Structure 1
Amino acid sequence: MRFGALRIFMIAMLIGNCLTSANAQSDEEKAKVSELIKFLEFTLNTLGDPEVAVGDKKTITDQSYLKIFEDKNVQIEDDLSERKVSINKNVQSYLQDVDILFKDVKFQFDISKIEKHKTSAQKDYFKVTFKRTITGTAADDKKLENASVRYAEINYDPAKQVYKVASIYSSGIRDMKTFQAWWDDLNFEWKVVFQRAVGSTVTPSESYKVMGIKEIDISYNKYITDLKPLAKLTALEILNFSSTAVADISVLSQLANLREVYMSNTGIQTLEPLKALENLEVVYFENTAVKSLAPITPLKSLKKVVCINTPIDFAEIQKFEGSNQSCKVLYESADLMNWWNNLPLVWKESFKEQFNITSTPPTGEDLARIKSAEKIDIEGKYNIYSLEPIADLTNVKSLNLKKSGVTSLEPLKKWSSLERLDLSDTHVDSLGPVNNLSLKLLVADYSKVSKEELALYENKHPSTTVIYKTMDFTIWWIKLSEEWRGIFGKAIGYTGPLDKLPLKNLYQILELKKLVIPEGSEIENITPLASLKNLRELKVSKVMKISDLSPLSNLAKLESLDCSYNPVVDLTPLIGLKNLKKLNIEYTRVSDLDPIGEITSLESLHVSGTKINNINAVRRLSNLNEISLQNTSVSNLSPLFTLIHLAKVSCYNTKLSQKDVTSFKNTKPSCEITFY
């Protein structure tokens, strides 16, 4: 039986088995209704699956759908394409569109409420509220992902004891009579709000205008005290009710399309109803009693949160920022203002200059920018002696103290995020708490820190670029050949005179992460590379004169090395490179792989065209994903048998026989092997 046909069979059987009612107990009835919605989800996913045969899909749209729906005239409010005006489709048209409008699509239904009602004829029916999420690719190749609240009405036939879908819609109000009743129940102020939002008076026949509202601004409206009427506006994206008497926001949990909510100066005390709003991007709740950000912490779509003058403490804000690094948090508290008020005048002036603060006193947003800053620069501030006032600014990644009056780094003991520190030309005499931090850059020229302590730090943190001998580095640059200068200058995009390289550009070279040495270069050794402690990727292929890899032995961060087509013989200098993932030594003079046998980080190894005749050392490379051995004397693949991640082997033109390769294929059938 085909995969698609099997799914059709499952739908028919499962619906037949599960949609009859054993008794009238409420819990069981709700369970049956829930199962029906899940079968509908399964059916739509079958129609949206490109692997299901066309004939099988036709079976659903022509026949099987009647197992779920009341009849062929059931109306479904369209949610498959964006429309300004809502329209209904009969069930067959809707189901066919699932296949027509998408290349592939997946539906997910999350039920939030099942309510039992009676019709005017006293027949039972159920109203289901659920969140519908669609992800997939449209027919025009456009990627899509959206969510909205949907409603389904389920009829129950006691004679046949079956449940079937009678309608599906998004507005929460699907007929003129229901809309009129809802509208009549609104107070005068809400009617005015909705009429302003649509730009005209509203008649029952135009209910779609209200149900399609995407933005509501009721800020400063003293007559609005609750948000209950918004429950029907499931298309709503932007809501502003700041400076109103509203204190309860529970209704917002039903508005899945909300992107921006403004509720400052209100009586709200919790953000709990917002926790399920996955599309939420902006939240303002200044001057409220909200105590916690926990409900919105999991929302990865957030871009901006403004919680100025709330009881939320700074520790929680830092925790939130750690979990939501792409979200900007603006806050202010009594503690924060006290911090500013107690700052020495020289620090205040420095912050005003760095952060372009013009207001007096600074606004909450100004103070939030300072508190969340990643860079602090007090270069030349000789009258700033202590870092104690900024001890809590633990988000800082770059701190420039050059030529300041600072004498101690002790206040930085909580600064685990610090990456770059310049304490040159200061009276700082000890590295203190930063001794245990692996900085990316430490500049300590002409400081009071001893050369012995700096040397110890350098040995402890080999990946840190430590500058305390600027003259030495300047001499290093002067002694470089013209070709090496050109290579480094090009790597950082420097186009000025190479004999007058600015110090900042020299630092850029020393912090290079990637370097490609042009093929055919005339350099005869790679000694200058020993100073590039941050290098992660190096390509020095077809330079022809490079035979010694010793200068690379201390480049602890190196992840990728291509030294192919060079007269390299010995791989011993690579023994300590525990982060190396890719190694290309093709067409070198290497004959022994033992030196790299303990570099278990290796994922890709290319040794083609070398003098290798065995690969015994490779058996320990547990993360190896691919290896190329062509044009070598390798005659045995057994060291590869235990490598569970191995996916690709190239071994043509070796001493391997067809029998050896067949044995390997039988042992590792999922591994792609190239041999002829």
Structure 2
Amino acid sequence: ELDKVKNMVGFLEYMLNTLGSEKTSARDKDVLITESYKKIFRDDKVQIEDDLDAARQVITNKDIPAYLKDVDFFFKDVKFEFTIEDIKIGEQSDNNAFYTVQLLRNLQGTTIDGEAVNNTMKRFIEVNYNPIAQDLKIVSIYTNEFDESAALTYWWNQLSYEWQSIFKKEIKVIDTVQLSDLKRITSIQNIDLRGNIYIQDIAPLSQLYGLKTLDLSKTNVTDLTPVRNLTELTDLNLSYTKVSDISPLRYAWKLSNLSLANSEVSDVSVIEKMSSLQQLDLSGTNLINYNSLQYCVNLKELNLELSGISNLQSIDSLAHLERLNLSRTAIVNLDYLKALTNVRVLHLDSNRVADITALKGLNSLEELYINHTLVSDLSALQELPQLKRIYCDHSGIKQASAEAFMSLRPQVLVIFDSEDLKGWWATLSHVWRSRLQQLGSISNNPSKEELAKLIKLDSINLDKAEIDDLQPLSRFTNLRSLIASHTSVSDLRPIEVLKDITFLDVSYTMVYDLSSITKWKSLRTVLANNTPIQDLPLTFEHPSIEKLYLDNTGIEDNTVRDFINKNPRSLVVYKSTKLRQWWGSLSNDWKSIFNIQLGVNEGSIEALHRLVEGEELHFQDSPVDDLLVLGPFIRLKRIQFSSTRISDLSPLSDHRYLISLHATKSPINSLEVLKDLPRLEELNISNTPIDDIDVLQDMQQLRKLDCSGTPLKRLNALEGLSGLMYLDCSNTLVRNLNPVATISLTVLKCYNTKISERRIGEFKLGNPECEVIFY
């Protein structure tokens, strides 16, 4: 029977592809929609959870003919691909068998409006066996499984001790995990397992559908099949593993950073479809061929060091490439590099290259590495405007030619004959030498050993130094803490390579742009007070950053909101003066509320920023009567208050990101402010004097409404709210349910109202799925 089930799924795939093909005639499509589907479906009432619109937020079911029609209607040309993952066998209440097929559905094509679509999701197909007719029929197709809590609990109980320990550590839980913890675990976006030799099977990761960053380097993982459905992955590190097959990544469309360094992968054809790929590390690999690289047109960084590549024809189309490493390869001819005009850093160390004429037109080139090569002439590089460094130790470059080149291009440093550190020291200004001598406790004429020790410093304090350029620090790769406050520094690009810095202080400088530090994954704290910074980079996304100080800059609320939305663990201190004044003007009642919210008894500047950057505010049993004090808050999504003197909600109009508002047991006089809250999904106005909810009539996003205990008489405003799922109108004067009879409520509470039992019966008959609480 399993073969028959598989054949049925194959026929469904064929049927959908025939229907979605622009080559299929209208007549044939009509036959499919009206007749052919009956071969595999129980009847025309079989429900299918809609998956044709990836942006849909509300679960929608359609009967099979309607679904088939939509396939034809919404797409100009579309293809479905089903990959069966599992088939489970069960028994119905009548002892007949049923089958649940779990598969991965990929939908790729063009909409009727000409927009390209390409998305992948998990689907379930339920098939029943009819012993009388002795046949199989599909009875349901859906995405969302019925009992999520049971599934999560089962998944957790199947995990090994090692995996449970890993996940507990990620969410900082020591004791027994609860259902809420399991949901947090399955929502994890970043996992670092590098060096964990106990990890061999990564099947537990299959439940982490939102995973974006995964580091499996130096583990014993060999099979990537469990992560084939993790289509949100953007960063994946498989270096120093025994992985040989990366075909399970064929749906990882969003992957931007992939490392296969020193792995056993020999075929990377799957990367041809990774249009978002920007960083690729194939160092230490030996591929069958490298032709697939030509399709990775958005690559910015490519590492082929110690790989088997011998011809560069496959990379001449990578016009966006900025960093390229070809060291220790069999490359001799560089002609195919002529087209790579955006390359900034090029590594050609330890190969048989002798002629670099092909690099003459690489006008973006900043650093060139040709150590241990046969190169003897640098003249091809003389006109490159951005060139800053040439590393040519143990090459054909002699001292005379190096000095001649630097004479023509004094801003370029040519490092040769292992005297590179001496050359670096010689270029430093007196101010830099003096400060570094002090920091490193070295002599006026330092030896190579002293310089080697110097550049290993992990902390440097340049406060009030008379410097305007940080370029000399580019060699300090061990640097963790840098203070450059009260200097004339304006540009951080020279230290962009120092990606291990955790603390940076550039307060009271001319620094205006933080883009150069966006890739510092270890960064924890940044001080940039009193600088001309006006904005934060769009790519500034750090799971590790904790504090960002930007007082007395041009940074505004919207910028901070966007940043914290990307970095929810971060604190941005940027309007200290305003908050001190605000706090000083607050009544004792409000201070008490906020102290409870903060969990502290004093308004420190960090605490005040954390308060106004928070998403939730709860308070009750307080005599406060005005919401104007919430003006400084920038990210409020949920407000809940009860038993207050607040009557006016209009100050909430500035908080357009609110999704939940509970204003209960308070003398609220109007809901007009809701017109300014386009994201509101949940509203509770119970036990207030509100008797008119007409303002809700256009709030299609509203999902939950509690108006119990109010003098409300009519529900007419809710008639068109198709997304409303929960309604509590108990203890009101409502007597008619007709306005909500057709909006698919799942819960209705209407006890102690003017509604008759007859009307309740009519409502239940028309809404059998709704839980009605009435007495």
Structure label with greater radius of gyration: 1
Q: TM-score, normalised by structure 1?
A: 0.47
Which gives a bigger RCO, structure 1 or 2 (Cα 8 Å, sep 6+)? 1
